[in-house]
Amino acid sequence: MVIESYVVVHNIAKRHNVGTLARSATAFGVTELILVGRRDFNAFGSHGSTSHLRFRHFHSLLDARNFLKEKDCDICGVEIADGALPVNEHPFKKSTAFLLGNEGTGLSAKECEICDFFVYIPHYGCGTASLNVTVAASIVLHHFGGNIV
């Protein structure tokens, strides 16, 4: 069985973050970057990695969810939420799609509804409640990749 990973991009406020997400996705072996809603993005920050990564577009979260379920993927929300598991406990069992929240507001209720489970990144210092979306994605993808190799 091949275990794959996907990154779902929906409602990201800063379009240049998508290019940086593509760079991290390429570095950590993501199968596809899934764009939901807006198809366009700024490739700034990708440093050419977009040519090494497949992209897929869906008009709605439900369409993206249906595609991922056909692939037998878990959908993992990256969010500080009740019941969220620490990412360093490696709670991944099979192919997984990672849905990251908006930089300012996190995951919406609609986004949370399609998630099978949630992970959070434990913080060891104080002074900030969250990380940049691209930094969070890199940490989570690194843990996922280290879990399946």
Going along the chain from its start, the domains and CATH numbers come out as 5-148 (3.40.1280.10)
pTM for the complete prediction? Answer: 0.88
Torsion of CA 11, 55, 15, 148, to 10 degrees: 70
Alpha helices by DSSP H, the chain: 16-27, 61-70, 109-113, 133-148
CB burial string 69-85: b at 16+ within 10 A, e below = eeeebbbbbbbbbeebe
CB 81 within 8 A of CB 120: yes
Mean pLDDT by runs of 10 across the 149 residues of the chain is 91 73 91 81 47 85 97 96 94 96 86 97 84 91 77
Tokens (6 digits) for 98: 């990672």
User: What pLDDT score was predicted for residue 17?
Assistant: 78
Q: Give the span between the Cα atoms of 126 and 9, in whole angstroms.
A: 28
User: What pLDDT score was predicted for residue 13?
Assistant: 60
User: What pLDDT score was predicted for residue 45?
Assistant: 42
User: What pLDDT score was predicted for residue 53?
Assistant: 84
Residue with tokens 């091949």: 2
Q: Give the span between the Cα atoms of 37 and 51, in whole angstroms.
A: 21
